[in-house]
Amino acid sequence: MIISVSRRTDIPAFFPKWFINRIRSGYCVVPNPFNRNQLSRINLTPENVEIIVFWTRNPKPLLSYIQELDERGYQYYFQFTVMNNPNFIDTNKSELSYAIKTFHQLADLIGFQKIIWRYDPIVFSDSGKIDLNFYLDQYEVIASQLSGYTQRCVISFMDKYQKNNKRLKKIEKEQNIEFLNFENIPEVFSKFIPSLVNIANTYNMQVFTCSELIDLELYGINHGKCIDDDYIHQVFNIEVNHQKDSAQRETCGCVKSKDIGMYDTCLFGCQYCYATTSFDKARENYRLHHPESPSLIGWYDIEKKSDVRQLELF
């Protein structure tokens, strides 16, 4: 079983103690996001977990537990988002210097092969605050400092969802800007993507897309999978289930996994986030968190004999 930690929230940044407690206990409980009376008990023992995939903007709080994960025999890799968006986009972001330093520390600790740099989502507007030149300049600044600490970069372009659309409209009004669909900007294909690939090549990185329908292989960018069976085999020599995760959107190529996070719990306040309906709700849920609980929020528990198949529904 592959464990996703997590598409729904940033567990390494905000819930590291809970995570290691669940590892020590050998299981966690995940409520169905649409019906919290439906619970799933997830076996987290080393014998049951093929690999753990971490998704984070700040793995620093988890670093003190890495040795314990190694000693217990877990395999894992990190999807580490490092960007330098303005605060009106990434409200509670870490300083870039802090993120770079943490990236270096993590790579020194676990090896550069086990870290994937996420430069996403890219959010284009009609303003110079966040246009093509801004993202190219920032990409080179970051890539130059991550060279030698990773060889793989994932990019995507912002999508509008029901959960983030209201926030994005508010920003457009406050900042007097308009967010643009990248496919409607000719310079994305004539300038931005070729330049980004050239920068990546300069710093020995290969670029992949995440959940993008458009084919960019002509430019040297392949479709990527965040939970990637080929990558897992290449780096860890582990053969996992190759079946696509049907619970994800159609453009997602990830293979099947079990996600142990909960929605509306992340405190980073990224305005484009699809996993957070309300930042107030996220703060309220965070106050309901207990690091000793079997579940991330509240205190949900079920007996070992309970069926885990329910998780496949969400």
Residue 306 has pLDDT above 60, yes or no: no
Strand bridging mode 51-56 / 76-81: parallel
Model confidence at 133, in pLDDT bands (50, 70, 90)?
A: very high
DSSP secondary structure string for all residues of 132-156 = HHHHHHHHHHHHHHHBTTBSEEEEE
Q: How far lies 249's CA from each of 11, 41, 162, 239, 246, in Å?
A: 22, 24, 14, 24, 8
Dump pLDDT digits (tens) for 288-302: 999 999 999 999 999
Cα→Cα distances 295→18, 32, 258, Å? 9, 11, 14
Residue 86's contacts (CB-CB under 8 Å, 6 or more residues apart) are 129, 130
Query: Is the pLDDT at 18 greater than 90, yes or no?
Result: yes
- pLDDT for res 38: 92
pLDDT of 252 reads 82
This prediction has a pTM of 0.93
For residue 230, is pLDDT > 60? yes
Range among 34-48, 74-88, 211-225 rated most confident: 74-88
Length of the chain: 314
Tokens of 59: 């793995």
Cα 1–Cα 42–Cα 240 angle in degrees, nearest 5: 5
Q: How far is CA 209 from the centre of its chain?
A: 13
Report the pLDDT value the prediction gives residue 305, as an integer from 0 to 100: 62
pLDDT higher than threshold 50 for residue 312: no
Place 189 in a pLDDT band, splitting at 50, 70 and 90.
Answer: very high
Both tokens of residue 185?
């900007």
Residue 160 has pLDDT above 90, yes or no: no
Q: Is the pLDDT of residue 243 over 60?
A: yes
Q: What band does 213 get if pLDDT is binned at 50, 70 and 90?
A: confident
Read off the tokens for 31.
């409520």
Task: Provide the pLDDT for residue 40.
Answer: 95
Is residue 314 scored above 60 in pLDDT? no
Q: Is the pLDDT of residue 307 over 70?
A: no
pLDDT at 211: 78
Residue 22: per-residue pLDDT: 99
Question: What is the end-to-end Cα distance of the chain in Å, rounded?
Answer: 16
234-265: b (≥16 Cβ within 10 Å) or e: ebbeeebeeeebeebeeebbbbbbbbbbbbbb
- Output the pLDDT for position 304: 76
- pLDDT higher for 304 or 256? 256
4 neighbors 276 (Cβ within 8 angstroms): no
- pLDDT tens readout for residues 250-281: 778 788 999 999 999 999 999 999 899 999 99
pLDDT over 80 (residue 101): yes
Mean pLDDT for 217-233 is 92
Rounded Cα distance, 188 and 192, in Å: 5
Higher pLDDT, 54 or 211: 54
pLDDT at 311 over 50: no
206-210-213 Cα angle (round to 5): 115
Whether the pLDDT of residue 204 is over 80: the answer is: yes
Residue 16 exposed, middle or buried by CB count within 10 Å (0-12, 13-18, 19+)? buried
Answer with the residue of higher pLDDT: 159 or 57.
Answer: 57
Report percent pLDDT > 90 for the chain: 82
Kindly report, residue by residue over 33-74, the tens digit of the pLDDT. 888 889 999 999 999 999 999 999 999 999 999 999 999 999
* 259: Cβ contacts below 8 Å, ≥ 6 apart: 3, 4, 5, 6, 7, 8, 30, 311
Which tokens sit at 108? Answer: 């020194």
Beta strands in the chain (DSSP E): 2-5, 27-32, 35-43, 51-56, 76-81, 115-122, 152-157, 206-209, 222-223, 258-259
DSSP label of 109 = H
Domains of the chain, by residue range, sit at: 2-288
Q: What is the mean pLDDT of residues 162-180?
A: 92
